[in-house]
Structure 1
Amino acid sequence: MFSSILVICGFFMLSDYNYVMFHMTVELIIVIVASMIFVITWYSRKFINNDYFLIIGIAFLFAGILDFIHLLTYKGMNILIGYGTNLPTQLWVAGRYLESLSFIFAAFMINRKLNGKTIFFGYSLITIFLLLSIFYWGIFPQCYIEGEGLTRFKIYSEYVIITLLGASMALLYANRKSFDDSMVKLMMLALFASIVGELFFTVYRGPYDIENFLGHIFRLISFGLIFNAIIVTALEKPYNIIFRDLKKSERDLKDAKAQAELYTDLMSHDINNVNQELIGYLELSLQSDKIGGEEREYVKRSLDSVKKSTLLIDNVNKIRKVKTSKHESIPVDLDAAVRDVISRYSHMQGNSVTINYTPVPGAMVMAGDLIMDAISNIVENSIKHNNGRVTIWIGVKKTKTSKKDCYEIAIEDDGRGIPDDTKDKIFNRSWRGETRAKGSGLGLYLVKTLVDSYNGKISVEDRIKGDHTKGVRFIIRLPAA
């Protein structure tokens, strides 16, 4: 605080000795700080999700260009001669409009990711337009009249700029949760200092008046605060910003998870209950003698659709259980699991489906109670996705993988097989085959999810090598118990 007072006193003495030198010093410091702000924000844009500071940095670069030309044309500099006081005042007003409007624009872009090069190009065009309107076209309103002082346009513009800066403070405060607390405080103080400075710029009559001096001092204070907010805070406290963003992402993720669980619970419980009621009513309808012919066929199709819906919900619940719950593999009797699966389809044996299996007593694997669902899904696919009669072979044998004992379950059929170009897609969650209308959805994705959760592997190949039309073979490998 004391050092700041000494600096201000030093600037006052310099202005009293040579105001042009004071003005040049202050403006050069501001231009340098503005350039530094641009460099830091530009080269950190890929790592910052908030483009608020990128917009401010680019705006300060081009406002700094206008300020530098303003410095060169200032009365007493004798670099660009013949323009008087109006030209530097016009450049000043143009720069302040560019800054204040940029604070508003940046506030609306908080937490949005923009193309930095596009913003840079846009500000380039705006700056070129302002310079042409002042130097070439002469359409920029007059801001200072020799012997009279500031024009109404200049004074009213300062009040407009003050209003814009005040609105920027309100918008920044409304979005304060998107920034580090200390950064918000510094930016609020900086904007307030800018407002005070602009108030002084509304009342001076000559370029060397005390009001002009105070306006430049408050502008320098404003840039010092912005420098601290953007540069020092960004460099000294980057982990605070990253941690805040991570915490926000964590909260958003928890909210999304809670929503997903709500929808899953709704589907699992309420919708499943409705499905069970529909199944009951449809099965009763099929038992009625009043329904026959075409109507009975429609009821059967409706019953099949509801059962598929119920199976889909059941699969979703199983995937959810595997993905969300922590579980350890336990010894499972693989031979018993296969025989249980075959018993589910025993009513089809000898009709359109034949399942061949040679029992392997004592085949124990490290898995879980859902391993039967993995085997059952593959068997069901073989039945549903093949027209006419189908024969299924299930084989279990002990083997070694990476020097570890494991059991290999091979499930194959003599159906129409799977084309080579789709073999690597069938385990994807988003993949749907040509017969998706017949399946329950998520079937093979569920199988792979279950096998992976048991530290196993699953693969698919042609039953007869080189001819996918002769059937398919699924191979599951699970660690031996």
Structure 2
Amino acid sequence: MEKKYGIIVHYILCFLLSFLFIFIASLYNYLFFHALAEIFSIIIAFTIYIIFLNIHNFIKNGFFVIIGISFLFIGFFDILHTLSYTGMNIFYGYDTNLTISFWIVGRLLESLIFLLAFFFIKKNFKKHYYYLFLLIISITLLILIFSNNFPIFYIEEKGLTNLKIFTEFFICIIFVINLYLAYKNRKLLENEELFLLMSAFVCIIFSELFFTLYKDPYGTQNLIGHYLKIISYFLIYRSLVFKGLRKPYDQLVENTEILKNLVEEKTVLLREIHHRVKNNLQNIISIIKLQTMYVKDTSDKEMFLTIEGRIQSIGVIHELFYQTYDLKKIPFNNYLVMLTQNISSFFPNLKEKINIIIQANDIYFDLNKAVPLGLIMNEIITNSFKHAFNQRDAGEIKININLKNSDSYEIRIEDNGCGFPSDFDIKTKKTLGMELIQSLGSQLDATIDIESNISKGTFYYLKIGV
């Protein structure tokens, strides 16, 4: 709230300083004052258009589309009004009627575009056709004005014509209608936005009334009329900035905060899910361990231990997802360290004898890849512990994972053990472990090659798409 009021105070101070500078200029030289006043209005007009230009893809409200585009053309006629003002001596061969003609065109356009805009409030509007329409109208008016075929609004030494006064009153009437339409559509506009627009319309009405009274373009009524025009432009600008920039920005900040809270809630929830899954798997492991205590047969006991190891390989993944900040993927190097430590614990006699080398830095897998790949790793490493180092004092297992050409992972697992028995055919021999490796490999769309040599050990090569 303090920030909001700080912004309002900032706007008011900037406006008051600008207004004070223009007022001092009016005391020094009226032509200088008029140029500054119009430049102020022109800057606002073009700023309104630039704001629209930058956010038009996000605006679905025809009201703001019409106003945003129209102020480009209003600013253009304000430039011509400024350059053709009496004393500027830029357009030779023309009198004061030229500058007043541009003024009338600008004010008529301003009044009519608001009238049109209210009929398209909260509706879609084809901006491309509107650009073309305003362009054709502007070119036509320029031809009429510069060819002296436009109505006469000012006669030198006589002052304003009746047509000029009538046109100013007509503009006032249109803005009174705009006031009514703004109030009628108050439920479709924000309170601040409505207040600023209606205040701008009131300033414009009084400005136009003052422009019906002067006889000299350097007169006091003309001066007051320009002051009111500056105020009206500023209020319109504030209204459109509120809608076009500040409100969407505030909404974006609010939505970002909501999304941030939702992400945090979901992160906590996912962590809790992984934690509970890990705990449930641990409970299953505990039950298996209890059951194993009652198993007397060595082969049955080994089967239970194998099941326990497979479940633990999944539990480690959920533990890492629970611990890591990124819930989309886990550092697989950390996983392999934990997995091999768990597997080693099942073989206390070999734990100190087997050296495990892991090279998988900066390799991350999501849950869909980590679980089946973890089970494959568990099968291969467990088999090495079980069969590769019988009757050996020491051994080595190497695990290497690399990203190949940014489109696939190459995984190598090898040991320097005794290899498969000579009568073991990898392609034809069916064991549960091999079937698991092949089945899980199919889930990953992986290619798996296995080589074994009695003197060199066993080598597994897996290739998995990114």
* TM-score, structure 2 normalization: 0.50
The answer to whether the Cα contact below 8 Å between 1:73 and 1:81 also exists between their aligned partners in 2 is no
Choose from 5, 22, 29 the match for 2:40.
Answer: 29
The match for 1:214 is 224
The answer to whether the Cα contact below 8 Å between 1:179 and 1:241 also exists between their aligned partners in 2 is no
The match for 1:41 is 52
Is residue 144 of structure 1 aligned with residue 157 of structure 2? no
The match for 1:374 is none
Choose from 61, 80, 104 the match for 1:93.
Answer: 104
Choose from 183, 188, 200 the match for 1:173.
Answer: 183
The match for 2:412 is none
Q: Which amino acid aligns with 1:73?
A: S
The one-character-per-residue Cα deviations of 1:110-154 (angstroms, maximum 9, x if unpaired) are: 111112111111111111111111112x32110100001000111
Q: Which amino acid aligns with 2:92?
A: I
**Bigger share in helix:** 2
Q: Could you say if the C-alpha distance between residues 82 and 64 of structure 1 is closer, same or farther in structure 2, counting changes exceeding 3 Å?
A: same
How many Å separate the matches in 2 of 1:3 and 1:49? 31
Q: How does 1:280-429 map to 2 (within 5 A)?
A: none
The match for 2:114 is 103
- Structure 1 residue runs without a partner (length 5+): 245-401, 404-481
Shift of residue 12 of structure 1? Answer: 2.8
The answer to whether the Cα contact below 8 Å between 2:51 and 2:244 also exists between their aligned partners in 1 is no
Shift of residue 36 of structure 1? Answer: 1.0
The count of corresponding residues between Structure 1 and Structure 2 is 247
The match for 1:52 is 63
Is residue 69 of structure 1 aligned with residue 83 of structure 2? no
Is residue 131 of structure 1 aligned with residue 115 of structure 2? no
How many Å separate the matches in 2 of 1:85 and 1:116? 35
Q: Which amino acid aligns with 1:71?
A: T
Shift of residue 57 of structure 1? Answer: 1.6
Shift of residue 43 of structure 1? Answer: 2.8
Shift of residue 45 of structure 1? Answer: 2.0
Shift of residue 81 of structure 1? Answer: 2.2
Shift of residue 225 of structure 1? Answer: 0.7
Secondary structure, counterpart of 2:56 in structure 1: coil
The match for 1:160 is 170
Q: Which amino acid aligns with 1:219?
A: K
Shift of residue 64 of structure 1? Answer: 1.1
Choose from 131, 134, 137 the match for 1:120.
Answer: 131
How many Å separate the matches in 1 of 2:164 and 2:61? 34
Q: Which amino acid aligns with 1:81?
A: Y
Q: Report the RMSD for the aligned CA atoms in angstroms.
A: 2.5
Secondary structure, counterpart of 2:57 in structure 1: coil
Runs of 4 or more consecutive aligned structure 1 residues displaced over 4 Å after TM superposition: 1-7, 239-244
How many Å separate the matches in 1 of 2:18 and 2:84? 26
Shift of residue 5 of structure 1? Answer: 5.4
How many Å separate the matches in 2 of 1:23 and 1:232? 28
Q: Could you say if the C-alpha distance between residues 41 and 188 of structure 1 is closer, same or farther in structure 2, counting changes exceeding 3 Å?
A: same
Secondary structure, counterpart of 1:81 in structure 2: coil
Is residue 201 of structure 1 aligned with residue 201 of structure 2? no
How many Å separate the matches in 1 of 2:250 and 2:210? 37
Shift of residue 50 of structure 1? Answer: 1.0
The match for 1:189 is 199
Q: Could you say if the C-alpha distance between residues 61 and 2 of structure 1 is closer, same or farther in structure 2, counting changes exceeding 3 Å?
A: closer
The answer to whether the Cα contact below 8 Å between 2:52 and 2:244 also exists between their aligned partners in 1 is no
The answer to whether the Cα contact below 8 Å between 1:38 and 1:54 also exists between their aligned partners in 2 is no
Q: Which amino acid aligns with 1:178?
A: L
Q: Could you say if the C-alpha distance between residues 219 and 5 of structure 1 is closer, same or farther in structure 2, counting changes exceeding 3 Å?
A: same
The answer to whether the Cα contact below 8 Å between 1:19 and 1:208 also exists between their aligned partners in 2 is yes
The answer to whether the Cα contact below 8 Å between 1:194 and 1:218 also exists between their aligned partners in 2 is yes
Shift of residue 32 of structure 1? Answer: 1.3
How many Å separate the matches in 2 of 1:100 and 1:87? 20
The answer to whether the Cα contact below 8 Å between 1:186 and 1:229 also exists between their aligned partners in 2 is yes
Q: Which amino acid aligns with 1:235?
A: L
Secondary structure, counterpart of 1:44 in structure 2: helix
How many Å separate the matches in 1 of 2:192 and 2:53? 22
How many Å separate the matches in 2 of 1:32 and 1:52? 21
- Structure 2 residue runs without a partner (length 5+): 1-11, 255-368, 372-466
Q: Which amino acid aligns with 2:100?
A: T
Larger radius of gyration: 2
How many Å separate the matches in 1 of 2:251 and 2:186? 13
The one-character-per-residue Cα deviations of 1:182-238 (angstroms, maximum 9, x if unpaired) are: 111111111111111111101011110011011000000001111111124432222
Q: Could you say if the C-alpha distance between residues 241 and 175 of structure 1 is closer, same or farther in structure 2, counting changes exceeding 3 Å?
A: farther
How many Å separate the matches in 2 of 1:26 and 1:169? 25
> Identical aligned pairs, as a percentage?
39
The answer to whether the Cα contact below 8 Å between 1:37 and 1:57 also exists between their aligned partners in 2 is yes
Q: Could you say if the C-alpha distance between residues 76 and 225 of structure 1 is closer, same or farther in structure 2, counting changes exceeding 3 Å?
A: same
